[in-house]
Amino acid sequence: MNKSDNKNEKKCKLCNKPYTYNYELFGRKCLKNLYKNFKIAIPKVLNKENYFCTRIAWRCHKFFLNKDKKYALVQNYIALDYLKKINNENFISLAQIIQSNIDEITAFNKKYRILFGDFTLNDFYRAYNSYKDYEEFNIKLDKSNINEDIKKNDYYEMQEDYKKYKEAIKKIKENQKNINVKIYDLYDESFLDACEVIFDTTKMKSPIFHLAFYNLQREFWKIVVAGGILFDMKLSAYLLIKSIDLPEEKENEEQIIDDEYVNKILFSNKEFTNKINSYLNGEDVNIEDSNVTFNDKDLFFSLHNVTLKIKGNKNKLGIWSLEIELKDKYDFTDIIWFNGYANKDFTENIPKALVSSTLNNFASISSAYDVLKNYKFTIKIKVNSYRM
Ligand SMILES: [Zn+2]
């Protein structure tokens, strides 16, 4: 199916799968499971979703809620239910926040929240399902002949690694404030080794580690990479952070970047302005050029296969008004990003280790964790007084 056909596609808040039925939160299959899990008999009403939400509201002793509040309540309620089932001490504070969300939803209160922070209902759904798998795994492990000491050692080792990671990050954070420290000096093999702990795929199945690593990987990419290695590569950092912050449901949508900050980055780049200038002949310009590539470090890192459109005209004083568009795809599964970078001779500033397979692996693991998302984007730039 063509991706652009799915523009108005709805995704189930629980399983995140697309559905077309006329419900607002859940696909039909998930709704049926919810009825079953909360032991509510399926009624013969037309809107079974709304009925379900009303019943949950009653269960919370909440009446006369408008629809938005009711639907928000239900999402908090389901998330809390998952946390209660997982029943792990690491989730106590999480559960408290969600409980207070539920308490705050009343017919009179204007403010209400659906979950909090970056969490979606799908995160809780996945955490719970991973937990079930993990439990099964533990039961199997208990029945197996692996002795208790080995199991404990594993956990201990993990804690030690985590301590190393925390110290490594602390060092980076402290030094980022100090401009005099050459930021690249802080990154070496031992640093990457210390960070490896949060990219442990074997822990992905555990809900505790999954949530923890998800957040720590975000921290890694934001602070360590975008703020550190890429600190003089502003467009690369900008696009990377966008990839981290992109909500899952927007992954298939093209992102329009219309940002003065990006314009500034591009127009202070010599190679970029030279490229633009090369198209500005005569009195007006209207071109579209595909497969445009760049060699400059930042542009090479961030733009891979650009379709460039320029439209504009020149006034009598030789000043151009321009509308520029750069279309590209930011794709981590592709990872031209690091591989391409390693092949280029840019490494004078950056230790080789950083562009080696280690960071590649981290990127693909973070894609699996859904921390890094691919997206199509168009950068739109309007300039009214451009001189060549
Ligand atoms: Zn679903």
Note down pLDDT in tens along the chain; length 388 residues. Answer: 444 445 568 999 999 999 988 899 999 999 999 999 999 999 999 999 999 999 999 999 999 999 999 999 999 999 999 999 887 776 788 889 999 999 999 999 989 999 877 778 988 888 787 777 666 655 655 555 555 555 566 656 666 777 777 787 787 777 766 655 555 566 667 777 788 878 888 777 666 567 777 878 888 888 877 777 677 788 988 998 898 888 877 877 899 999 999 999 999 999 999 999 999 988 899 999 998 988 887 887 788 789 999 999 999 998 999 999 999 988 765 544 555 555 555 555 554 545 556 777 788 888 888 888 889 999 999 999 898 8
| Residues 6+ away with beta carbon under 8 Å from 206 | 130, 131, 134
What is the Å distance from ligand 1's center to 373 Cα?
21
What is the Å distance from ligand 1's center to 120 Cα?
13
Kindly list the domain boundaries of the chain, sorted by start residue. 3-129, 138-244, 248-386
The per-residue pLDDT for 293 is 86
What is the Å distance from ligand 1's center to 18 Cα?
8
What is the Å distance from ligand 1's center to 315 Cα?
57
What is the Å distance from ligand 1's center to 10 Cα?
10
Cβ contacts of 284-289, under 8 Å, gap ≥ 24: 284/312, 284/313, 284/314, 285/310, 285/311, 285/312, 285/313, 285/322, 286/310, 286/311, 286/312
What is the Å distance from ligand 1's center to 189 Cα?
42
DSSP state of 46: S
What is the Å distance from ligand 1's center to 334 Cα?
29
What is the Å distance from ligand 1's center to 249 Cα?
14
What is the Å distance from ligand 1's center to 72 Cα?
17
Looking at residue 160, its amino acid is E
What is the Å distance from ligand 1's center to 287 Cα?
45
What is the Å distance from ligand 1's center to 14 Cα?
5
- Beta bridge partners, 18, equal 11
Closest CA to 278 of 301, 299, 308, 248: 308
What is the Å distance from ligand 1's center to 75 Cα?
13
Q: What span, in angstroms and rounded, lies between the C-alpha atoms of 383 and 332?
A: 31
What is the Å distance from ligand 1's center to 16 Cα?
6
The per-residue pLDDT for 100 is 95
What is the Å distance from ligand 1's center to 358 Cα?
35
The per-residue pLDDT for 17 is 92
What is the Å distance from ligand 1's center to 129 Cα?
13
What is the Å distance from ligand 1's center to 49 Cα?
12
- Residue found under tokens 């690369």: 236
What is the Å distance from ligand 1's center to 2 Cα?
22
What is the Å distance from ligand 1's center to 144 Cα?
35
The per-residue pLDDT for 367 is 82
Q: Which helix (H) or strand (E) holds 287?
A: strand 284-292
pTM above 0.75, yes or no: no
Q: What span, in angstroms and rounded, lies between the C-alpha atoms of 332 and 343?
A: 17
What is the Å distance from ligand 1's center to 77 Cα?
16
What is the Å distance from ligand 1's center to 32 Cα?
10
What is the Å distance from ligand 1's center to 160 Cα?
38
